[in-house]
Amino acid sequence: MENNALLQTICRALTLSEQDLCGLFQLCDRPLAAGPSAELLAECSNEQMRCVLEGLILSKRGPRQDGEPPSLDERDISNNEVLKKLRIAFNLQQDDMQMKFEKGGAKLSRGEFSGLFRKPGSKNFRACSDELLLQFLNGLQLQPDA
C-alpha cells in the first residue's frame, strides 16, 4: 500500500489531528512544523511512515526498556510490518486482533493469523494484503477500545 494512502487511513481510523501527527514526530526526535500535514499526507516517505508508527508505540507504551532509539530507515515498509507495529502500539493479543479483523469484515483462522507475524521466508509466512490491512484498520476504527 502506498505510504500516503496508509497514513491517511491510519489518521482517519485513529482520529489523529495535525497536532497529534506533530506529537508523534516529536517523540521520534523528528520535529515537524505545525500545519504541513496536508503535504505529509500527499507525499509520505518510508522514514516518515516509520516515524508515525514508532511514535504511536512510544505514545501508547512509552520508551523501550533497553533505551534503544526507534529504527527509522528508508527501507520499504511491508503491510505485515505495519500490522506488527500497530499490534505492539495498542498491546493487542491474538483474540483482540481477530475481533478487529472480524469487525472490519475479515475472518482469519488461527494459522492464517499467526502467519501474518512470521518472518518472510518462513514456511508458514503469510503476506498481509492491502485489503486485509484496510479491514484491520476499519475494525480498529469501529472498535477502538476492545
Containing structural domain, residue 112: 79-142
* Cβ pair 103, 143 in contact under 8 A: yes
Q: Is the residue at 117 inside a domain?
A: yes
pTM above 0.75, yes or no: yes
Tell me what pLDDT residue 137 has.
Answer: 93
- Determine the length of the chain: 146
Position of cell 534503544?
68
Q: How many domains, in total, are found in the chain?
A: 2
Q: Residue 121: what residue type?
A: G
C-alpha 53/C-alpha 125 separation (Å) is: 22
Same domain, 93 and 138: yes
Tell me what pLDDT residue 116 has.
Answer: 95
Residue 17: all three cell numbers together: 489531528
- What pLDDT digit, counting tens, does each position of 99-129 carry? 999 999 999 999 999 999 999 999 999 999 9
Tell me what pLDDT residue 67 has.
Answer: 67
Same domain, 8 and 56: yes
Residue 49: all three cell numbers together: 511512515
Q: Could you tell me which of 53, 17, 52, 56 has the C-alpha nearest to residue 38?
A: 17
Same domain, 99 and 54: no
Sign, CA torsion 92/144/10/24: negative
- What pLDDT digit, counting tens, does each position of 55-106 carry? 999 999 887 777 676 667 778 889 999 999 999 999 999 999 999 999 999 9
Tell which of 28, 61, 94 closes a domain.
Answer: 61
Tell me what pLDDT residue 21 has.
Answer: 86
Q: Is the residue at 73 inside a domain?
A: no
Q: Is the residue at 38 inside a domain?
A: yes
* CA dihedral angle for residue 57, residue 73, residue 8, residue 103, rounded to 10 degrees: -50
Helix (H, G, I), strand (E, B) or coil at 102: helix
Tell me what pLDDT residue 146 has.
Answer: 47
Same domain, 102 and 49: no
Residue 132: all three cell numbers together: 486485509
Same domain, 93 and 39: no
Q: Is the residue at 69 inside a domain?
A: no
